[in-house]
Structure 1
């Protein structure tokens, strides 16, 4: 098996300052606090070489951490975990190499080594908010692995940050989107709900199987067709709704098999980017997610029924409940489905074109989870899911 060789970890600070101690703090919003300091990892796989990807991306990262750009990313959480201290202490960075060509079959075996991890299961206040690794393969392809503390940014915010680094790496004088980290426009989630969601996230496991599979286009088309035949006057079934309903159906069947009970309550959670609905400023890269729980029973809906429940939840209908009520369903019986297809990761590029693949990776998770990833380059035969 190929081995990833890593250089020593360095700390990348903003290009215009070494350390800005005492440069102020940014209070975490209730959206940030409700998620907790959970590490999240994205792997961007590039099959076209660029000149010296490690040094090129490290330089662009430093430029992106300038005071006028994404300086808070170089900070640390305050000791109580309630704010970001803009200390300028920097982002951890590692350059790495692999003595084999970039081939898809290698990636599932190597993904633990393609990104940096945190010392513990959760990020501590003294840990860097962001860690980055650039791994170059013998063919010239490379992987950018980024692990970050979820209280710093959601997926859309991290995708915006990576697009900015790519723009600087390609020679733009500044990011095309002006970044905003503190938003006065976001409403406050009630403290009781924040506390309940944090308590729910304290239950985490490493003891689940990791899967990487494709749902064929034919299966998606069949689900959309069944919905159209039975609901001629309703809005069409979307790809997200078809994929999510199928994943939920499969998970529900697994629960029935495991517990031999066809009347168990089962839940499905999907987070949504609600920046537009809440009027967040353009360029806001903190957390702005609304996650709702949709409930059914193991013996109830077929695929069309699940699509209907998902549609109602998306539209704000009466089938949705706050995420923290998932405890009433049960951790094992609740599936989290997160779509990364429209967050912007696939638009991050550092000089050689868009990524051939965007991969999710997590060493532990709060719930059984499926992440619907952006399309793989050259593969239009379905939707890639990592779980």
Structure 2
């Protein structure tokens, strides 16, 4: 594990704008009514760690990636534009061709200094992904910021920050993969990007045909939004043994019918709620599961679509029920919430966004989980091979950082696969959360 006391200095060159390598259309492109909802109007950080590759001796990763990025932006030219807001909070991309922010840097640290089990939280992240002054607003700023930091061992770190309204995880991986392909010599991406955001827009006469409790506006009567000024960050690793123990705690009819995501989401939701020690057992607590609708919508989204294409189904339980009942209660609720998601559901969300002014999803007494174990960040190759780690730079991102989190793939030194869950909680609640997880994993259920 990387040492939490690891410190190093980073020397950055002045940030520059990387524009498309050849002329691109100057036009205004509408985001979808899924893209521009309030809950996606934030910057999401990603980080990739790459080893030294002897075959690339003499090649500067920053130069290679910057050149490939410029050529990739010819295909993904909306990323070189700027976001504007119109009537009714509708978002548009003004395809100005100004470019994305790029920073080249060097650090006096080796890859091995980060440890052999890379996962969030990462030391000195603010140095590896520098917040260029004036760049972090959602509107009228670069839609992508990339920093390539060369390490003293010959490896490098690529960190980026994406305006989430532009893409979800599959869309971002599609873009990064294209940069990698062009960096390795291709003349064009293997998957040609497709805009088609109108496929996820509201109907001319919006009329939601599903209830949408995920967007219910709930007052924070008990102060249960995680405070930002005093939080502990820690990652938990669930390997095959841990998942097997959790699965064994379910009744026999649920064990085979529940996915790893179902079980782990229920475990984290229940344990986190217990750790927060809700004052009122009748208060509702929520878990929102981000569900990719690619493959669930008819007609299907075209290959190459890189917009946001997911739903936010919610499960709701009172604190008393969630904390006192066994794990299978939470598993059943998670499974039921996921089953709601379909193409019709997402079109209903689009209608709801237009009718209700693009509200933020509920954040009070809510936890949001996004499963990135199969997103593909770990396969992005710029010529130096696959990353040692690829994925979210930290847990707890978004407008309410204690609310939004990820499941991240993990491989240990012996090649065993697992899932990393970064957790962000106030220190006393973190200590209780650790105890809850240890209790669940201490022995197999008698069921």
* 1:359 and 1:386 in contact (8 A); partners too: no
Are 1:206 and 2:214 matched, yes or no?
Answer: no
Q: Decide which of 40, 45, 54 is 1:41's aligned counterpart.
A: 45
User: Cα offset for 1:179?
Assistant: 0.3
Q: Which has the higher contact order (CA 8 A, sep 6+)?
A: 2
1:337 counterpart residue number: 369
1:218 counterpart residue number: 241
1:285 counterpart residue number: 306
Q: Decide which of 127, 140, 159 is 2:173's aligned counterpart.
A: 159
Q: In structure 1, the residue corresponding to 2:246 is in which secondary structure?
A: helix
2:73 counterpart residue number: 65
Q: In structure 2, the residue corresponding to 1:237 is in which secondary structure?
A: coil
1:190-339 matched pairs, under 5 angstroms: 206-207=228-229, 208-227=231-250, 229-231=251-253, 235-256=256-277, 259-278=278-297, 279-300=300-321, 301-316=325-340, 331-339=363-371
User: Cα offset for 1:30?
Assistant: 0.2
1:101 counterpart residue number: 110
Q: 1:377 to 1:71 in 2, by over 3 A?
A: farther
Once the two structures are superposed, residues 149-196 of structure 1 have per-residue CA deviations (whole angstroms, 9 ceiling, x without a partner) of 1111111111110011011111112111110123333352859999x9
* 1:215 and 1:384 in contact (8 A); partners too: yes
How many residues are treated as equivalent by the alignment? 372
Under a length normalisation based on structure 2, what TM-score does the superposition of the two structures give?
0.75
Are 1:75 and 2:81 matched, yes or no?
Answer: yes
Q: Decide which of 345, 354, 378 is 1:346's aligned counterpart.
A: 378
Distance in 2, matches of 1:376 and 1:219, equals 14
* 1:357 and 1:376 in contact (8 A); partners too: no
Distance in 2, matches of 1:30 and 1:55, equals 37
User: Cα offset for 1:9?
Assistant: 0.3
Distance in 2, matches of 1:308 and 1:246, equals 12
CA RMSD after TM alignment: 3.3
User: Cα offset for 1:25?
Assistant: 1.2
Gapped runs of 5+ residues in structure 1?
Answer: none
Once the two structures are superposed, residues 41-99 of structure 1 have per-residue CA deviations (whole angstroms, 9 ceiling, x without a partner) of 11111224343111011111011011xx1111101112536210111100100011111
Under a length normalisation based on structure 1, what TM-score does the superposition of the two structures give?
0.85
User: Cα offset for 1:364?
Assistant: 5.0
